[in-house]
Amino acid sequence: MRELTSQPIEELAEDVYVCTRYYGANVGCVVTYEGAVFVDAPIVPAQARAWLADLQYLTAAEFLYTFVTDAHPTHSLGCMHLRAKPIANERAYRSLARYTPTMREKVYELFQDWAPEVIEELRDFEPLPPEITFDEELVLYKGGRELHMIRIGGHTPATSVFFVSDCRVLFTGDLVVEGTAPFLGMGDLGEWLDGLGQLLELQPKLVVPGHGKPGGPEIIERMKGRLERLFEGVATLVAEGRSRAETITRMLPVLEEFEIEEQWRKRAERSFRTSIGRIYEDLKARKLGPEQRAE
């Protein structure tokens, strides 16, 4: 762990750097002798510039690309400050190329009860759509390393992961989160669960979640188990004929399982309510019981 100009940076494997302390989401950088690739970007401009400065201190490599795991603002909006060409799934391009005033207001609302001191910094942000997109998978061969970008979906249709094959480090984006609850408001639970199985098949040694501390493949297993329990709990309540509001209320105690820090609890509870509502509506539409897994 190195103390630099902004936040502590951890070198998880040779020339693979991670910072988990910025507002928004975890960020990473993979360095090769032909250049470096960022993974996601800090949303707060000052933090994005500090992240770039810290990496410039650690390496003389040229920063070639920023791989964006998702179009969600906490992963993508800081790209404009990193001076590297964005890469993302084609579905993320569609969102970032059409950023509306309503979407901007949602970013401000996100920070209003989370970090109001940075709202003014966000007033002038301009989304930077990816210059390079892919459908299902893209592999970069740079400096003797294979960098795999794989669309998984589940969390959103565009959600993708970044896998450094030589050291088996996997950046999952929000498919895996620690210390907060997963957000399913735009997701497909069946695709998400299948996707977590795909991640385990990659046999990663180190896993960098979208939020929270890195770990081993056990954090993927933990996420999978939690999502399965969410599905089973909601499915049971649907089978009992509970209303949407009652189902959400009865499922709220499950939020304690995610060990959320107090400062994020309000936001996490709001997101969790949306997620439970999404599962409820999906189950009602499909008329699935608790013995059936989401397809």
Residues 21-64: tens digit of each pLDDT: 998 899 999 999 999 999 999 999 899 999 999 999 999 999 99
- What pLDDT does residue 2 have? 44
pLDDT-derived band at 167 (thresholds 50, 70, 90) equals very high
Domain that holds residue 230: 10-286
Rounded Cα gap, residues 76 and 210, in angstroms:
12
Residue 295 lies in a domain: no
pLDDT-derived band at 259 (thresholds 50, 70, 90) equals confident
Percentage of the chain lying above the pLDDT 90 cut:
66
Residue 162 lies in a domain: yes
Residue 3 lies in a domain: no
Q: Is the pLDDT of residue 77 over 90?
A: no
Mean per-residue pLDDT, 85-96: 92
Residue 275 lies in a domain: yes
Split into its structural domains, the chain has a count of 1
pTM of the model: 0.91
CATH of the domain at 187: 3.60.15.10
